[in-house]
Amino acid sequence: MPAKLIDGKLVSSVLRAAIREEADAFAAKRGRRPGLAVVRVGDDPASVVYVRNKMRACDEVGFTSAVFVLPGDTSEEAVLSRIAGLNADPLYDGLLVQLPLPAHLDERRIISAVADSKDVDAFHRLDAGHLTLDGGNVLPCTPYGIMELLRYYEIPVRGRECVVVGRSLIVGRPMAALLLAADGTVTIAHSRTADLAAVTSRADILVSAVGRAGLITAGMVKPGAAVIDVGMNRDAQGKLCGDVDFAAVSEVAGYITPVPGGVGPMTVTMLMRNTLSAAQAASGQMPD
């Protein structure tokens, strides 16, 4: 029997409707709407698209939002000055700097300049520390979205073998931390892992976040496993695809995310959730 499709668009729409209700209630009580500011440096085409999608999501859930575009040759001090101003601006509860940044800018220094209370991407070192020590205050958007997909489809994590392929700071490592916090037995695999197929074939939950088209084949997947594809690649025909050989793996897995339409919509939705949570925290309001 083919794998059941994990529909990120469906789950995202359900969550965004709930976020909209909470945002409306927040506005009625506080006299303002949650706000998100985005700083974009330069005109990287992918970044332009990503930021546009975030602004559309803000409109959908009823947030105030703004994009602050700086020229690609802007100095690091000027970028930091803009961030400092937005840190102090009470109109915006969330603040993110769209990556990647131009090569002359110190990405770590700039990301660290975002106030922890407004770090809705959860890229700040303090948030990374909280995630490791106590489960996190604000969760990285893509791993957070994956956990919501597992919850929606009632895919249990506790006691299950979980394998994360990829060790990036944005997806791989925080994904492993969230699965561990949910009582999964977690293995992180990467480019230096010996016999990757032997590792992945043990997984009840397999998350691939490498960025290599066709990396995960049917022979690498345990029958009935939940396969979560975070990859965003282009195949030989230029068509968007993930890390997983979708057609072949669908015949083996129990659940599978498509690309596009799987994890992607959830990342932006959890950014909205984090922004709402930041607004509630700034107003001293506990989430309902």
Just list the catalytic residues: 54, 98, 121
Q: Are strands 233-234 and 240-241 parallel, antiparallel or unpaired?
A: antiparallel
- From residue 155, alpha-carbon distances to 162, 171, 198 in Å are 12, 20, 23
Query: Quick check: helix, strand or coil at residue 70?
Result: strand
Q: Is 154 helix (H, G, I), strand (E, B) or coil?
A: coil
| 45-61 vs 263-282: helix crossing angle, rounded to 10 | 60
Contact assessment for residue 113 and residue 168, using Cβ atoms and an 8 Å cutoff: no
Distance, in Å, from the CA atom of 71 to the CA atom of 125, rounded to the nearest integer, reads 27
Q: Do the Cβ atoms of 95 and 112 come closer than 8 Å?
A: no
**Tokens for 89?**
């601006």
